[in-house]
């Protein structure tokens, strides 16, 4: 289906205003865009692992969700939606349900990369007909910016503080999209918040309407945790893509597809310099850390190019 911006924006909102997400929150933008990819006639069941999104969008008896909504524990979003999806098809087979439902669950990187990984992996391996969307903001933001396995190397967090004895988180970020692609599911994609949201919208539409399991990993910046000026969110996302820190790609039935290759690949410091969590890297004595960071970005980019060339 061709992307028609006016038509897409005129779709009814399925994530209502009035929630308590921070101004400019990347997660809220991600959710609105993904849910717009649903056909108006289709109903949905939304799952949500505990996190920023859950605590800010559902305060009993008030909710920002226009569709059926299930808040589950931090660790079991994948299992919860698996059970609901299985029950739905059992009821539909018996003729007790006739409406068309889609199943979408959201989780932050803490509830996806870390605490909920076992549940997510099981749902993907069983190939349940659902979409798991990770809004990746690179830390446990809901509880005060603690590091997760999605936190990039050298980031300053409350559990990897920068000081005289530390340069922030020492480990590389886990490449979760590649890990899920190795589950041999029908559809995996990586996206972020760019311009008209065309890339994310089209990938969400494919994920929702591809039979079987699908996974979307969406870089969703957090102005508080990343420490940048809130209006700069789109700039941050564009720099992440143009430096190849966050490449845009799909894995369709096992085939890797690169969606965007920058004409001029920018140095990683262009992305890092915009964020307060990396300001220590720009001290003269830490120049070698930027070199190391660039080497890792280049290694992952070359690996992705190789996968997409096969």
CA distances (Å), 75 to each of 31, 34, 64, 216, in order? 20, 22, 22, 18
Strand partners, 146: 140
Say yes or no to pLDDT of 2 above 80. Answer: no
| pLDDT tens digits for range 120-149 | 999 999 999 999 999 999 999 999 999 999
CA atoms within 13 Å, Cβ hemisphere of 156: 17
Say yes or no to pLDDT of 157 above 90. Answer: yes
Say yes or no to pLDDT of 1 above 70. Answer: no
Q: Cβ(74)–Cβ(115) under 8 Å?
A: yes
Residues of the chain above pLDDT 90, percent: 94
Residue 18's pLDDT is 87
Supply the pTM of this predicted model. 0.97
Provide the pLDDT confidence category of residue 10 given band limits of 50, 70 and 90: confident
Look at strands 62-63 and 58-59 and give their pairing. antiparallel
CATH superfamily entry for domain 5-309: Thiamin diphosphate (ThDP)-binding fold, Pyr/PP domains (3.40.50.970)
Neighbours of 177 (CB within 10 A): 22
What is the DSSP secondary structure assignment for residue 15, as one 8-state letter? Answer: B
CA atoms within 13 Å, Cβ hemisphere of 197: 22
Provide the pLDDT confidence category of residue 9 given band limits of 50, 70 and 90: confident
Residue 107's pLDDT is 97
As a whole number of angstroms, the distance between CA 270 and CA 291 comes to 13
**DSSP character string of 261-274:** --SSPPPTHHHHTT
Query: In the predicted model, what is the mean pLDDT of residues 257-263?
Result: 97
| Mean pLDDT, all residues of the chain | 96
Say yes or no to pLDDT of 203 above 70. Answer: yes
| pLDDT tens digits for range 67-121 | 999 999 999 999 999 999 999 999 999 999 999 999 999 999 999 999 999 999 9
As a whole number of angstroms, the distance between CA 129 and CA 186 comes to 10
> Exposed (0-12), middle (13-18) or buried (19+): which is 170, by Cβ within 10 Å?
exposed
* Extended beta strands in the chain, E state: 43-49, 58-59, 62-63, 68-72, 101-108, 131-136, 162-163, 166-167, 187-192, 214-219, 249-252, 255-258
As a whole number of angstroms, the distance between CA 30 and CA 233 comes to 12
Least confident of 3-7, 97-101, 161-165, 178-182: 3-7
Provide the pLDDT confidence category of residue 27 given band limits of 50, 70 and 90: very high
As a whole number of angstroms, the distance between CA 121 and CA 127 comes to 10
Tokens of 138: 């690179």
Q: Cβ(107)–Cβ(132) under 8 Å?
A: yes
CA atoms within 13 Å, Cβ hemisphere of 276: 13
Query: In the predicted model, what is the mean pLDDT of residues 174-198?
Result: 97
**DSSP character string of 148-179:** -TTSPTT---SSS-EETTEES--SPPP-HHHH
Strand partners, 187: 214, 252
Say yes or no to pLDDT of 59 above 90. Answer: no
């Amino acid at each position: 289906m061709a992307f028609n911006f006016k038509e897409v924006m005129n779709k009814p909102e399925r994530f209502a205003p009035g929630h308590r997400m921070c101004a400019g929150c990347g997660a809220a933008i991600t959710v609105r865009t993904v849910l717009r990819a649903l056909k108006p006639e289709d109903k949905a069941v939304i799952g949500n692992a505990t996190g920023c999104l859950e605590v800010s969008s559902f305060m009993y008896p008030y909710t920002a969700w226009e569709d059926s909504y299930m808040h589950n524990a931090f660790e079991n979003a994948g299992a919860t939606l698996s059970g609901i999806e299985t029950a739905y098809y059992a009821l539909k087979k018996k003729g007790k349900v006739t409406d068309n439902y889609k199943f979408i669950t959201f989780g932050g990187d803490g509830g996806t990369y870390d605490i909920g990984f076992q549940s997510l992996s099981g749902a993907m391996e069983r190939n349940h007909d659902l979409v798991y969307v990770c809004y990746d903001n690179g830390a446990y933001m809901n509880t005060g910016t603690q590091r997760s396995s999605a936190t990039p190397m050298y980031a300053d967090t409350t559990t990897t503080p920068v000081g005289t004895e530390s340069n922030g988180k020492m480990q590389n970020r886990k490449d979760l999209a590649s890990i899920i692609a190795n589950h041999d599911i029908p559809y995996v994609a990586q996206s972020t918040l760019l311009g008209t949201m065309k890339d994310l919208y089209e990938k969400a539409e494919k994920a929702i309407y591809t039979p079987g399991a699908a996974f979307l990993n969406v870089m969703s910046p957090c102005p508080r945790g990343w420490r940048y000026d809130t209006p700069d969110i789109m700039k941050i996302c564009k720099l992440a893509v143009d430096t190849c820190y966050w490449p845009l790609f799909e894995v369709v039935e096992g085939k890797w597809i690169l969606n965007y290759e920058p004409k001029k690949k920018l140095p990683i410091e262009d992305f890092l310099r915009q964020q307060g969590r990396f300001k220590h890297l720009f001290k003269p004595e830490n120049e070698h850390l930027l070199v190391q960071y660039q080497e890792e970005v280049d290694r992952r980019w070359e690996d992705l190019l190789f996968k997409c060339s096969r």
